[in-house]
Structure 1
């Protein structure tokens, strides 16, 4: 077995996220994902078909963001489920951060989900 971590860090999307009236319009949200993957063997041929294509994860995150969410908890759970849909992913750590809610702080949520 060969274990690797794939990291998608600081992906900033404009999306509807929140329960307050002032959050009805899209706001900037930073998403970061760390996936631990287990491959049957280390990639030897240097080809994408030996590993996870993280482009698909990024596109999936953008599609989820287009729908919007009321809670950060449901957003990070949805992204974690997206990651774990690939059977090689054994753990997904997902963090969301609202960048513009407060003038003096960001607000975020993080989840870790493991297979099995």
Structure 2
């Protein structure tokens, strides 16, 4: 399991971090013969920063319409995992990151992917990407 990351953006009382930890998906990914044979397990970690000062009511109300759709994001990641074959984790991770940034609520996102079953002598090998929307005024 990846340790909880330090916020890469200035956080204050009006910032909320929403996260997914170790979302396991089966992905056709890799370039080696053993990776080409069948999909492999990839763990996806997502951190989303929501700036509640921008009129977003997430956390201010108990109305489901005022928060991020966790189910929708989980479904999007699973759909991307099934959508096609990826040569690199970087390309899969980038597609997940773009999906995370489609919500108007999300101001910044960090996504990491980890292939835990590639090497017997390591817990996993992965990549991490971060992107903040250009309109941020942190």
- TM-score normalized with structure 1 length: 0.92
Q: State the match for 1:47 in structure 2.
A: 63
Residue 119 of structure 2 corresponds to residue 102 of structure 1: yes
Which structure carries more relative contact order (alpha carbon 8 Å, separation 6+)? 1
Q: State the match for 2:91 in structure 1.
A: 74
CA distance in 1, matches of 2:132, 2:105: 11
CA RMSD of aligned residues (A): 1.5
Closer/same/farther in 2, CA of residues 115 and 9 from structure 1, 3 Å limit: same
Contact 2:47/2:111 (<8 A) preserved: yes
Closer/same/farther in 2, CA of residues 64 and 50 from structure 1, 3 Å limit: same
Q: CA deviation at 1:115?
A: 0.4
Q: CA deviation at 1:14?
A: 1.5
Higher strand share: 1
Gaps of 5+ in 2: 1-12
CA distance in 1, matches of 2:45, 2:60: 28
Aligned residue runs from structure 1 range 19-58, under 5 A? 19-24=31-36, 25-39=38-52, 40-42=55-57, 43-58=59-74
- TM-score normalized with structure 2 length: 0.78
**Deviation per CA, 1:9-60, whole angstroms, max 9, x where unpaired?**
1111111111112111111111000000123154443011011111111000
